Structure 1
Amino acid sequence: MTVKVTERDFSHLSHESQASGQQVWDVHQQDLLVGMFHNETEAHQYKAELENLESQRTT
């Protein structure tokens, strides 16, 4: 399973988010968007949770 965290490109943010300077972190699993976070730490925690659940499922 591939899980990755990426910062959303500024051009893909809403006008409101761009105006307020917000950042959005996307979590993708198997190239599908599974989560969006305004905090990078929370995005990485979710990634770790997904990886942990997957490892439990395969054992």
Structure 2
Amino acid sequence: MDIGEKIREERIKKGLKQCQLANKAGISNTYLSDIEVGRTTPSIKTLMKIAKALDVDCTVFLKPDN
């Protein structure tokens, strides 16, 4: 599972729509969508914003799959 898939999984767990998470993280909905489907990889700064908006540690997205 890549970073975007992990972000999407956490977003759904929290019951947020893409537009809600994008707004909380201060990024565009289009950019979040591109991250979630793997068209782009977020910078560390953006990843930290998304993690904060989801109230999780950013390492959640970086851990390898088992």
Q: TM-score, normalised by structure 2?
A: 0.26
Bigger strand fraction: 1
Based on CA coordinates, which of the two structures has the bigger radius of gyration?
1
Structure 1 length-normalised TM:
0.29
